[in-house]
Structure 1
Amino acid sequence: MPEKDKAHVDLVVRPSGNPDNICGVCHYEVAETFVTSIHYTVQGMANSLESFAHEGVLNEGGGLQIAFDNNCFKCHATCGSCHVSRPVAFGGGLHSQHEFTGRPPMEESCYGCHGARNAGEFMGQVGYVKDVHYEAGMDCMDCHLIENFHGTGRLEQNMYDVPLPACTDCHGNVYAQSDIEAHMVHGEDLMNCQVCHASANNNCFDCHTKLKDDGKVEGMSTSRLMFKIGLNPERTEERPYKYMTLRHIPTTPDSFKSLGGELPNYDTIPNWKYSPTHNIQRQTIQNASCDACHGNPYIFLQERDLRENDSKANKKLLIQELP
């Protein structure tokens, strides 16, 4: 037996799989909140699949449970997934030898799970530009509170259950005391900042799954860089905007058909979603002039943008007349 294999006999592959057992002995306050965080529970993905089907479907042994257990759940994170190793979804492996890093390296940890979208866009690995904050030397943890990673202590249902950063946390005077006319004209509740200040983001389409020989589930989809603005179907205190930036998610009515998974509620849930796109620039194509936005029908979500297998619920996001 090679020396490496001998050294790793009886190795505990994921020693922080249960935070209470090891990490929680010293870091008990963090472990207590982390076990109910969406990073640990992947509750957001579970809720999404149940909303497409019905409550409890992930405990019935059918196709959706197979998809969740063998694919979606690989996004489940432990303490070590950030502080010691790369995420499983990113191939695993130690990112800093055997060092425990208090501030995980963004390029290995955040990018490992979120590289196809927000982290990839932030770093300029996806899309056309790097975020201006990244170019200034900032990383994810300069904006996101520690609760975004370690949890709040309550069972989080989705990413909006945590106190997410807002542009106005740092740029609080952009509406009240701005010398930029566009800020004064549009107002803070009309649209999210990314409508003017973001670039094209990554959109995925036509996801379908298949069961591999090893029992794991493989998901396949296509992607396209796009920039779309749509109506906000549910204005809340956190997101009061009338107009918002969107991103297309790849779910289709037949995404899990090969596994026997049905989505009876598919047409009740939009698959164009609100997107806090992470590639902010001061100057963008759409804010170059008034007409660059108001005279550009291609950046607004319209009927012609919907695909045949898109959810019918997308219609409430459509811009019927250009603002």
Structure 2
Amino acid sequence: MENKKELRNWLDAFGLTHPLVIAGPCSAETEEQVLKIAHELKDTDATVLRAGIWKPRTRPGNFEGVGALGLKWLQKAKEETGMLTTTEVANPTHVDLALKHDIDILWIGARTTVSPFIVQEIADALKGTEKVVLVKNPVNPDLSLWLGAVERLYSSDIKNLGVIHRGFSTYEKTRYRNNPEWQIPIDLQTKFPDLPLILDPSHIAGNRTSIFDLCQTALDLNYDGLMVETHYDPDNAWSDAQQQITPATLVQYMKDLKIRKEISESQEFQTKLQNLRAMIDIADTQLLDVLSRRMKIADEIGKAKKDQNVAILQNQRWNEILGKMILEGEQNGLSEEFILRIFKAIHQESINHQKKVISE
């Protein structure tokens, strides 16, 4: 993707004055359900109707979608409401059926993005298409896999591309179903600023109570759109009931969300921002100095352990440090999640330093 300018800015064609909104149920359940939701969304900010037709489930026995029959329901919804349609495709057969039913936007799911072989098969099936193709991040926090999937599609002469950030799986318990890892999509956007970036707050949150805040964060970070799972009866949805909201709630969210300006021309603002950024630069340098001193102490600890043939990892000491830092962090307005991330990284670097000393 060296010539990024060849990417078409397909979002401009919609002529929207607000971020793109993709909404609809996690799963297409019945024709009546799809049409009812579509009609409740048609006069809202939602431009695209989404519905899962084929549902890759983590474990067997859960509802896995109605299959190709649901494509006809999406077609009918488009005819009746004028909304564009989108669904997930996970193999070339899905691609062929979706194209035959004139689905406007196809997205590649997180479980598919992790497999370069399957992504390549889908890219070959879509070769040269004018349809918009969106790529969800892989389930694991791997930027290279995400970029690789986009590059495979681009190499198949697919120019209407975009990405969906739906969060990343983690073995650690967090407040989210899938941890957002905001830095990863920021890194992606830095590499390819012309690639539209859409947030899927439903899969990040795993519950409807966090969706609004995630949407606002995305807008604060200049995301281009939102994909929100929407159902007229969320509690009785056949899949992911807890993370869906009603169309009426979506309407209210769009009224309440604040769209930030990318920049302000105010000279006073520019001066203040420049001064604050200078302060950040100084603080960052001080942080590096402190971390460097800490690692030099870790080197000395490594030497002492080597002399006495003592193991590097001391679990009791590590747990004491972590507990103390979490409490002190909270007193200083820092979240437990942030403290855990920072000090686990520091601890790992300390272990690396001690290993190097002991192995010399």
Global fold match (TM > 0.5): no
Which TM-score applies when normalising by structure 1? 0.24
Q: Which has the higher contact order (CA 8 A, sep 6+)?
A: 1
Going by fraction, where is helix more abundant, 1 or 2?
A: 2
Which TM-score applies when normalising by structure 2? 0.22
